[in-house]
Amino acid sequence: MNHPQGKIAALLTLTGALTMAGAHAGTFPDFGYGPPKSVYSGPLFRLSQDYPTVAPGPSSMPAFFKHLPTTFSNDFETWRSYMNEVKAYCLEGNTGIGWDVQKNKVRQWYHMPWQHYGPNGREGIRGLTKEAPIKPLQLASTQKGSGQTYAVGIYNDIGGYTIGQVWKDPQNPDPSYTSQPKGFPNGTVVCKALFADIDVTTVPFLANPLLWNAYTTKTFTSTERAVTQVALIQMDIAVRDTRVSDTGWLFGTFQYNGAVTGKANWNNLVPVGIMWGNDPKETGNAFTNPTPTETKINPALKQTAINANTKELPPTHLGWNGRLNGPVDNPQASCLSCHMTAEYQQLALMNPTFQANPPPVGGEEWMKWFQNIPAGQPFTPGTRSTDYSLQLSGSLANFYDWKCNHSGVYADGQNACAKIQPLNLMKASNAPEQEVHKVQRSPELEDLQ
């Protein structure tokens, strides 16, 4: 279902498709921001949303599962072959088709619905959503200007089944499918390709860039969009594995290095590292490195393994005190620390620095973001976990913001959500009273009737 008419097309479609009278699965909009035909006439993004209705069987288990290291070491070389296999699993059948995953002839991949909505919503050329700003000097000492990050994530059929269960009723999504005792099943794989809207000539490792056209905002804070080129800079992977005792998840990151092949190529993605826990007992700050001239590896970390091959991995900042994060990620966080806050309602902030008065670095309050939380357990008591999926928690927030705050008003003055009894999905009855961090709606959509 393509909607190239413009920025409000997706919401206009939903006004008809998701009426309170009823809806069927497969009605989710492809994107929220379509480029005008006057500036772009190429193919448009299609949401892969034919989610499996039957749980995939043992034959769907990724082959690399057999090669998980028997000992979890912080020596990255013990993980290199595993990481290479996961990377190959993500890329196989996708690179030659521009990540139009519905054309993949090797395996099935699926997107998260409801990422079209809001000012950061999915654009219509590649299906990219706006993720984060890029600060000066974040990528290299020669990078003086700022930029922004765009990304698209895909889930294998095992994860796609769970997405389909959550969104089986498009008007009443059910996050209990990702909360204990349920959750994303063993073998779920998530791959996310990240692109930078940045002057690539100022970032040495972006030589020979792999470029995509995308309909992006002109700056991170802008809502005005144009067709631009963005450069592949990073790929993140997440693997649900019940053999990982503390969290149940493995997170890994790859960084682009154009010197590897000397041409624009997905094979220029080199491993940064892998992590399976947040090292909650390590409270130091000596290895935090937000403006890198070198990659500072913290040998005290036991649940993160970083690639020490400096000929392969360009200087990068990693996460807080050397925990794993990629070049466009927050240097005061880690892959797991952000994703473990994923819940609905999303009461938790993704990082302690996002508070008006951040706690002392390494202190007891700070370390709440660097604990190890089992898969399916929410960060905030009384909420429901979305099992380390920030895309899922964001999609639920987007849907209920649209449904409850910008639509569904009846003649008696009540909106759609006021008529839902009980409001289990809107607010858990035992959740603590605190500010809910709502998705902001684009000012460009305020004239929508």
pLDDT tens figures, 23-58: 233 479 999 999 999 999 999 999 999 999 999 999
How far apart are alpha carbons 44 and 226 in whole angstroms?
A: 15
Token pair for 78? 């013990």
Token pair for 143? 């990078």
Q: What letters, b where the CB count within 10 A reaches 16 and e where it falls short, cover 172-201?
A: ebbbbbbbeebbbbebbbbbbbbbbbbebe
Q: Which residues contact 354 (CB under 8 A, 6 or more apart)?
A: none
How far apart are alpha carbons 285 and 263 in whole angstroms?
A: 37
How far apart are alpha carbons 423 and 425 in whole angstroms?
A: 6
pLDDT at 405: 79
pLDDT at 441: 35
How far apart are alpha carbons 196 and 182 in whole angstroms?
A: 35
Single pTM value for the model: 0.88
pLDDT at 407: 65
Confirm if 46 and 2 have CB atoms less than 8 A apart: yes
Would you report the helix, strand and coil content of the chain in percent, each value rounded to 5? 20, 15, 60
Phi first, then psi, for residue 154 (nearest 5°) are -135, 150
CA nearest neighbour of 142 among 271, 315, 268, 297:
315
pLDDT under 50 in the chain at which residues?
1-26, 421-449
pLDDT at 437: 39
Confirm if 166 and 173 have CB atoms less than 8 A apart: yes
pLDDT at 229: 98
